Structure 1
Amino acid sequence: MDRIKALRIIENRAAPNCRRVRIFLAEKGIEIPYDQIDIMAGDHFKTEYREKVGTYRVPVLELSDGSFLTESIAICRFFEMENPEIPLFGRTQLEVSLVEMWQRRMEFELLWPIAFVLRHGNPKMTVLEDQCEAWSVANRPRVLVGLETLNKQLTHNQFIVGPNFSVADITAIVAVNFLRTIRVEIPEHLEFLLNWKATVSQRSSIGA
């Protein structure tokens, strides 16, 4: 059986989930063609797009067998298996488990609350969301709690899970950079988080 190969990624550069994949691939040194779609114009809601890839989400990885992979972390895992030399999902049994845990926590406790504030509170997002303003308001304090949680975890760690940069850090830096869309800055007293952000931001992959 021929090995299934990655052909291209369909994405929107402004979308945080797409940025997670780009940073991941840059860390791995993997180059792949990218095709852009305009989500603010509703390209991903078009019938032909959904029938082709099976969802209205981005990013999407097209494979050589004609199938499509969706969800950013699923796409990252595909490339992790192909290129294990620079492990971003952990090295040991415990580290793999901790990376999985913190990656999910950074989604649930930081990235998603930021997205909910934006998508339900910004009038421009009505093209993407049936808005509920109360949900935007409810998630704003959750963002600050998430930042406090991340700062605490970084108190004795260079990266989120110890000395090794991982996909948990990728999710977190994408979320932290996404704060600008809801006009939130990291409080000055969260010094460990601020130092981590400065360190991670120097990685060449962050500009991918």
Structure 2
Amino acid sequence: MIFYDCPTAPSPRRARMFIAEKGLDIETRAVSIADGEQLAPAFLKVNPRATVPVLITDEGTALTENVAIATYLEAMHPDPPLMGRTPDEKARVAMWNAIAEAQGGMAVAEAFRNAHPAMKGRALPGPLDLPQIPDLAERGRRRVAAYFDLLETRLSESPWMAGDAFSLADITAFVFTDFARVVKMRPPEDHAATQAWLDRMRARPAAAL
């Protein structure tokens, strides 16, 4: 297997953490988004959509989405289970992972890509150059605040995003919560359940990657 990574971006970090939690050692190749390497012809041959992460499987398939990468690695290396053990757990992990992506990841990306000077002309990932829309940046910030409230509600009910066990959903929620720093937003200090969950997440060695 070959893993294409970018140390500064949230999406590759999700895959990087999943790989670490599985205890796997996979050949890694760095792709610098800051230097535009995702748009270079050599990388476009790997992924024409110009995004990272990418995992080249043992069968030679290029997996370009986090859920696909996690699904493959979970099937190849089922222990420790990070995507649920029973049908009910698997469904809850999938549900909360999707919620964290849609309500957290998309909100932070909307705020960041439509306001940060480094993202000028790059309002969406991929090969298209698209202009920033300032109103979307403000909407994104409001969505991030709502996401923090959603986290607090969920983590007041459950120690982990999908239930009693750490899972892919926690990786996704943690990475996007942490990445909200790029738009100068953090979960409120009085969100006690979220703060306790963040402490548990940061204590995991994979969180330092």
TM-score normalised to structure 1 length = 0.92
Equivalence for 2:181: 180
Equivalence for 1:76: 70
- Equivalent pair of 1:113/1:140 in contact (CA under 8 Å): yes
Equivalence for 1:99: 93
| Paired residue secondary structure (1:121) | coil
Q: Does 1:35 align with 2:29?
A: yes
- Equivalent pair of 1:44/1:57 in contact (CA under 8 Å): yes
Q: Does 1:67 align with 2:67?
A: no
Q: Distance in 1 between matches of 2:59 and 2:68?
A: 17
Task: Judge which range, 78-87 or 49-58, deviates more.
Answer: 49-58
- Would you tell me which structure has more helix in proportion to its own residues? 1
Q: Distance in 2 between matches of 1:88 and 1:79?
A: 10
Q: How much has 1:52 moved relative to structure 2?
A: 3.3
Q: Distance in 1 between matches of 2:155 and 2:97?
A: 14
- Equivalent pair of 1:42/1:127 in contact (CA under 8 Å): no
Q: Distance in 2 between matches of 1:146 and 1:67?
A: 34
Task: Judge which range, 68-77 or 43-52, deviates more.
Answer: 43-52
| Structure 2 gap ranges (5+) | 124-129
- Equivalent pair of 1:44/1:50 in contact (CA under 8 Å): yes
- Equivalent pair of 1:40/1:128 in contact (CA under 8 Å): no
Q: How much has 1:32 moved relative to structure 2?
A: 0.7
Cα-Cα RMSD: 1.4
Q: Deviations over 1:168-190 (max 9, x none)?
A: 00001101110211111211221
Q: Deviations over 1:124-168 (max 9, x none)?
A: 112633211111111111101111111101113111122100000
- Equivalent pair of 1:42/1:128 in contact (CA under 8 Å): no
Q: Distance in 1 between matches of 2:179 and 2:149?
A: 16
Closer, same or farther: CA 9–187 of 1 in aligned 2, 3 Å: same
Alignment of 1:46-195 (within 5 A): 46-126=40-120, 128-129=122-123, 130=130, 131-195=132-196
Q: Would you say how many aligned residue pairs link Structure 1 and Structure 2? A: 202
Q: Distance in 1 between matches of 2:179 and 2:76?
A: 29
| Structure 1 gap ranges (5+) | 1-6
